[in-house]
């Protein structure tokens, strides 16, 4: 086979990755509202913010909402990245909050590119009486001088053991 023809696919893939990495950031955060069938994983009887267990139903709802936000099918992801998924209910706002990293499928180049760039970590907000998650793209949450695309209540940050005014897990 001609050596020049072998290089073409590598150059094309490299160009796509470079273009994705070099794309300009939007000045305003982007959000998306996606309906899911997620329900609360436990009842909330206290007046304080509660860190909740991420049930399989909640996990699937977050995955479905994030995939739809990124305009990809949920099958383009293997799931949520272990150790990066958080879920809480804040009775003062009557909202559920969640955060999760996406694990792209090795068979989906768009998901892999999105997860390595700004689409790899997402924040979610859902009113208690709603089935719709609002998704906030927070891929740069741990970067110095980055701003959080949504104001997470201090009580939620405390429940998750995140630092004040943070929008990304510690570590």
| Cβ contact 119:70 at 8 Å | yes
pLDDT, position 119: 58
Which of 52, 36, 56 minimizes the C-alpha distance to 44?
A: 52
pLDDT digits (tens, 9 = 90+) for 156-170: 999 999 988 788 888
Task: Give how many domains the chain has, as a whole number.
Answer: 1
- Residue 1 belongs to a domain: no
Is-above-0.85 flag for pTM?
no
Q: Is the pLDDT score of 18 beyond 70? A: no
Q: Is the pLDDT score of 19 beyond 60? A: no
- Residue 73 belongs to a domain: yes
- Residue 65 belongs to a domain: yes
pLDDT digits (tens, 9 = 90+) for 20-64: 333 333 333 344 444 444 444 344 456 789 999 999 999 999 999
- Residue 23 belongs to a domain: no
């Amino acid at each position: 086979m001609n050596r020049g023809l072998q290089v073409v696919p590598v150059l094309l893939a490299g160009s796509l990755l470079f273009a994705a990495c070099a794309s300009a950031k939007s000045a305003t955060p982007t959000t998306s509202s996606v309906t899911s069938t997620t329900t609360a994983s436990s009842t909330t009887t206290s007046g304080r913010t509660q860190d909740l267990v991420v049930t399989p139903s909640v996990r699937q709802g977050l995955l479905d909402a994030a995939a739809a936000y990124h305009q990809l099918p949920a099958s383009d992801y293997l799931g949520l990245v272990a150790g990066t998924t958080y879920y809480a209910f804040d009775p003062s706002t009557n909202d559920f909050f969640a955060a999760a990293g996406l694990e792209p499928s090795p068979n989906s180049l768009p998901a892999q590119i999105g997860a390595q760039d700004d689409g790899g970590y997402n924040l979610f907000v859902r009113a208690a009486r709603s089935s719709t998650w609002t998704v906030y793209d927070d891929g740069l949450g741990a970067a110095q001088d980055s701003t959080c695309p949504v104001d997470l209540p201090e009580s939620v940050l405390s429940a998750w053991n995140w630092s004040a005014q943070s929008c990304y897990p510690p570590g």
